Chain A
Amino acid sequence: MTDGSVAGSSGPAHASGLAIETTALTKRFGRQTVVDDLALSVPRGSVFGFLGPNGSGKTTTIRMLLGLSQASDGEISVLGERMPQKLGSVLPRVGALIEGPGFYPFLSGSANLRRLDSADGFAPSGTRSARVSRALDRVGLGHAADKKVRAYSLGMKQRLGIANALLAPRDLIVLDEPTNGLDPQGTREVRSLIRSLADEGTSVFVSSHLLAEIEQMCTHAAVMRAGKLVAQGTLDELRSAGTTRVVVTTPDADAAAQVLRTLGLDPGHPDAPGPAVAASLPESVAPEDIVAALVAAGVRVRGFAVDHASLEDLFVALTGEGFDVVQ
């Protein structure tokens, strides 16, 4: 399913296995650079998480991918074709939910979908109603098909937006913050929907500012910060990019630190006051050797752990912490 590591690849990839590829993609609004030198590589068949805090340029990137917004610089190819030059032949194969749903409040859910379906010049009108009700059923809105969208809840509108993305057979689905406004049940449904799409072979590009969401459903991810791509690859690659740590729980902290230093580790100062010493683990040192050395030195080891850094830690390390929207 995955094509292996694609991080850092930037060669020409027309007709390659990439659903989305950008090179040096840049967007400036006046003097402000919102997306800076972006090189995305989204393999076909992947569920690709596009992660970043609010304001990091995710939506702007998606708008450029879909031809809504013009790139200031750089190149985009979607499904192997240049965008926006081939927009007319590419977009019918792409379903999208962009920065929240948008519908005519005075029309019913199904009337809204019929209108958007009629806007697609390749969609035959004869099967329109059947396609619309299939898409509505798929997102669980069959019962509300004839209700005015005005009366929809935020979650229902979000589902309707996803239904619009599913109107026709798609090779790529772009979902911008798809679980916004959904309750936990709805979130779970969206997650399983994305999985089933992926099982059918559709590439899915999901943006989110929530790491947990991406971790649960994606095979690949990219992390944005302040308009720049700071990491990209399979989830395993991303995880391994973080350092592995050893944590020794012991009342003899100083002695333990001394042992670690002799093995070439750098325990630094304990994270928290307490009976624990931590240090990052270089590949040259085997964890079992550390335990042996500690025991040999008479350190009373009450606990020993090898910690792979969580994506959470990585995300925080890459994008900064707190609520500040990145400038």
Chain B
Amino acid sequence: MPRTWHRWIPAAAAPVVVGAVVLGGVFATSASADPAEKTPQQVLELAASSTVDTFSGTIEQSSNLGLPDVSGLSGSTGSSGSDSSDSSDLSSALELLTASRTLRVYIDGPTQSRVQILDDMAERDAIRNGDDLWLYDSSDSTAVHSTLPADASTAPDASAESVTPAELATRFLDAVDPSTDVTIGDPVTVAGRSAYDLILSPDSSTTLVSSVEIAVDADTGLPLSVDVFAQGSSDAAFHVAFTSLSLDTPSADLFDFTPPAGTDVTEKALPNRDDAPADGSATPDAGTHPEPTVTGTGWDTIVELPAGTDPSSLTDSPMLSQLTTSVDGGHVLQTTLLTVLITDDGRVLAGAVPVESLQAAAGK
């Protein structure tokens, strides 16, 4: 007797249909017209000439640096009320290094911007509106307000550009020099836009970076994504990309921030330094940092911070001692992309190089 096997047809077809819809969506977006052929040099120029300074979008950022997942650890340290700013800096740095996160950016010209870090059940905002700079954290209802110096057209903007792929891409593109091979991969689609895939490969055997891929928007030259690959890994060690992008002007309401009732507001004066690095930290307390020294060039660059903090306070930190290993002359934090050496006398050396290079630099 032929059993009614056909009653299972829908059940067998359903996953296929669902899959087809999912993949079909992917194919449909990737089927957008390929951009005109360009040489690497033309794409570099396209990126350099990009004038997009008004847009909004969602950014996905993730790291795969081979570090253990310390999100739970840093979370508990972060919220346990330990007021050491070192500790919270450390945990936010570690969060950047280990966790993936989603951000929304709204930028209208050079002086109006808003960045939102979308946490679970919480949000951190950085808003710049003209001279006003606001940092808001919904998890503890705190806000920090600063006023930029009137002449600070190039003032450290701790918010918007520093987190977009464009900012990171610009740094890599600025660093393109004879030690870098620049090639073009197949066109890609990022945030629904077709883009050139610019591949930067270090012509150096000592760096940990194997390649950097930058998706450059075919229309506007705006870098849409950056993937940094480490030696010996096919997964991006660091990835930042738009998942959606709109070139419309964001609503002006977004930049008009008034701290809500019940918020702890701190007024903070900004350091008046012209050469302050836009280091991407959401807490601009750069004024207390000692001057770094830079050795090496190109991909082999090593940054050295002179002894400032008590080294034991760093290495005694439970989080750091979990992450670092003891080596000759200090402790080392080894990631797939970046090596950090904390010497016994308190200096900190960092670079995208093997630990041996750092030890050699420290020994000089």
B-binding residues in A (CB < 8 A): 70, 72-73
Contact = CB atoms under 8 A, between A and B. Distances in A.
3 contacts: A70-B4, A72-B1, A73-B1
A73 B4 CA distance: 12
Contacts of A72: 1
B112 to A, nearest CB: 61
Nearest to A26: B1
Return the 3 tightest CB-CB contacts between A and B, nearest first.
A73-B1, A72-B1, A70-B4
B1 to A, nearest CB: 5
A289 B56 CA distance: 117
Contacts of B1: 72-73
Nearest to B3: A70
A73 B1 CA distance: 6
Nearest to A28: B1
A275 B126 CA distance: 118
Interface string B1-43: 1001000000000000000000000000000000000000000
Contacts of B4: 70
A202 to B, nearest CB: 32
Interface residues of B, number: 2
Nearest to A71: B1
A204 to B, nearest CB: 31
Contacts of A70: 4
A238 to B, nearest CB: 32
A305 B332 CA distance: 117
Nearest to A72: B1
Interface in B271-307: none
A72 B4 CA distance: 11
A22 to B, nearest CB: 15
A10 to B, nearest CB: 19
A84 to B, nearest CB: 10
A194 B248 CA distance: 79
Nearest to A73: B1
Contacts of A73: 1
B292 to A, nearest CB: 77
A184 B173 CA distance: 99
B7 to A, nearest CB: 11
A70 B2 CA distance: 12
B5 to A, nearest CB: 12
A22 B4 CA distance: 20
A304 to B, nearest CB: 56
A70 B3 CA distance: 9
A152 to B, nearest CB: 37
A70 B4 CA distance: 10
A279 B326 CA distance: 113
Nearest to A70: B4
A70 B1 CA distance: 11
A100 to B, nearest CB: 28
A240 B1 CA distance: 38
Nearest to B4: A70
A241 to B, nearest CB: 33
A120 B4 CA distance: 25
A70 B5 CA distance: 13
A101 B1 CA distance: 32
B322 to A, nearest CB: 59
B163 to A, nearest CB: 59
A315 B189 CA distance: 82
A73 B2 CA distance: 9
A38 B1 CA distance: 16
B8 to A, nearest CB: 14
A157 to B, nearest CB: 34
A72 B1 CA distance: 7
B285 to A, nearest CB: 67
Nearest to A74: B1
B2 to A, nearest CB: 11
A275 to B, nearest CB: 59
B99 to A, nearest CB: 52
A72 B2 CA distance: 9
A151 to B, nearest CB: 40
A28 B158 CA distance: 76
B123 to A, nearest CB: 48
Interface string B163-202: 0000000000000000000000000000000000000000
A271 to B, nearest CB: 48
A128 B4 CA distance: 36
A220 to B, nearest CB: 29
Interface string B227-244: 000000000000000000
B3 to A, nearest CB: 8
A288 to B, nearest CB: 57
A77 to B, nearest CB: 18
B243 to A, nearest CB: 48
A254 B4 CA distance: 67
A1 to B, nearest CB: 37
A72 B3 CA distance: 8
A311 to B, nearest CB: 36
